[in-house]
Amino acid sequence: MEKHSRIITVSGRTYRATPTMCDIFLAHASDIQARGEMELVPLLHDGGVEMILVGELTRITVSSIEAVAGETVRSETVDPGAGLPSFAA
């Protein structure tokens, strides 16, 4: 079973999801943003399922959690609208 090792933040709300669910959500959200449209995108996360409204201006960030002895050692933030990841300590 995959761990919920991704933190997805959309419009100020935060969700923990598996890498697979995160990738599916980002692919769908990126496609919608590239088309300049607005749609509801499902996100399966540790608290259930959310239908998240994604549009051209929706800010989405994703942090990848890697832990050693329970501490976060690195996180990678991806903004699908920007196209390139940035790294935070």
> Averaged over 66-70, what is the pLDDT?
64
- Residues β-bridged to residue 77: 63, 86
pLDDT for residue 75: 55
Rounded to the nearest angstrom, the gap between the alpha carbon of residue 62 and the centroid of all alpha carbons in its chain is 4
Residue in the block written with tokens 């501490």? 71
Q: Is the dihedral of CA 10, 16, 18, 21 positive or negative?
A: negative
% of the chain surpassing 70 pLDDT: 74
% of the chain surpassing 90 pLDDT: 65
Q: Is the dihedral of CA 81, 40, 14, 18 positive or negative?
A: negative
- 56 backbone dihedrals φ, ψ, rounded to 5°: -60, -35
Neighbour-count burial of 73, counting CB atoms closer than 10 A to its CB (0-12 exposed, 13-18 middle, 19+ buried): exposed
pLDDT for residue 88: 39
Task: Give the predicted TM-score (pTM) of the model.
Answer: 0.75
